[in-house]
Amino acid sequence: MSGTRLNKYIASSGLCSRRKADELIESGVVMVNGKKVTELGFTVNPKDKVFVNGKMIHPVKHEYYRFYKPAGYITTADDENGRKTIYDLIPENLHHLKPVGRLDRESTGLIILTNDGDLINDLTHPSVKVPKLYRVSINGKISQKDIDTMYKGIEIEPNKIAYAEVDVLEVDNNHTIMEVMLYQGLNRQIRKMFEHLGFEVLTLKRIQHATLNLDGLKRGMIKPIKPQQIKELRNFLNRIASKND
């Protein structure tokens, strides 16, 4: 039977990733042409009508953007406390896009925005160690012992071990500027790691996520990601995934 696999069709609507779509199918909330479908290998054709939780979905064109987040904004669409969000800076016609990961309120730097659920999953799933590079300054002189401790791992919360690779760029008795590489996505990971070592993070900026960086962006600016860059990003993620298999 020709057609598109149901999980891919659901993911192409921007609702979720293919993995999450499989869970929705198995849970019995997906209907095709009025009939419940729980078969993971089920395929659909362009004229078929697909519903998830009673709502009809349609494939959409995937969009990809880079955004340079300034300090003072949180990475969410809504905030019950009335704080400023990144969507206050993003054009309204792009408000349907979702951020890939988060940066806390005072952190700055690169955020990828997309409606491609599969890509979001591939960039954030714990099983895929996607590198993220940060420029960080702290209020003191870091030692080699501290760097080694961060590499070996620090328990920032009960049963949560955080790891980081550190490359010092500038250091004196009052402050240290460094690049910090993460392969995890734990909440406020860098700040908690330095706090554990007795330092305060003064500035924190994400400068690269996988193959994408801040080149050509100023704070508060958003730009579409070129098709060639998406191709390079997918190839990079495929190489990482093959190493983890």
Query: Any idea which residues carry the catalytic annotation?
Result: 104
CA atoms within 13 A on the CB side of 164: 29
Q: Which of 95, 93, 114, 74 is nearest to 210 (CA)?
A: 114
Supply 66's token pair. 């880079």
Is the CB of residue 237 less than 8 Å from the CB of residue 210? yes
Query: 213: burial class by Cβ within 10 Å (0-12, 13-18, 19+)?
Result: middle
Q: 117 burial class (0-12, 13-18, 19+ CB within 10 angstroms)?
A: buried
